[in-house]
Amino acid sequence: MNSSACDTGKSHLATALAVEAVKAGKSVAFATLADIVITTLREHLRFLARASLLVVDEIGYLQVVPGGGNLSSSW
């Protein structure tokens, strides 16, 4: 599926496909991208927190976009 405009039925279509997959005996998981990113970040931070020393390289190498920290509000 693509990332077209809002309110075009993408989630509805995805849900319908998921229902059909379950009917066919397949397992289905549903998550938002934010859920996946936050979960992955939490797990990664827990792993990093075990170290006695954490070296963070290439700070500033990736561009930080305005609003990029908005995901933290849902923690």
pLDDT in tens, 11-27: 899 999 999 999 999 99
Residues 63 and 75 in one domain: yes
38 and 24 housed in the same domain: no
- C-alpha 52/C-alpha 21 separation (Å) is 46
**Average of per-residue pLDDT values in the chain:** 81
- Co-location of 68 and 42 in the same domain: yes
Higher local confidence (pLDDT), 62 or 44:
44
Give which of 66, 11, 65 is closest to 33, Cα–Cα: 11
Q: How many domains does the chain have?
A: 2
Query: Could you list the residue range(s) of the whole structural domain that residue 50 is in?
Result: 31-75
Judge if 24 and 39 occupy the same domain.
no
Is the separation of the CB atoms in 19 and 12 below 8 Å? Answer: no
Answer yes or no: do 14 and 49 share one domain: no
More confident residue, 22 or 34: 22
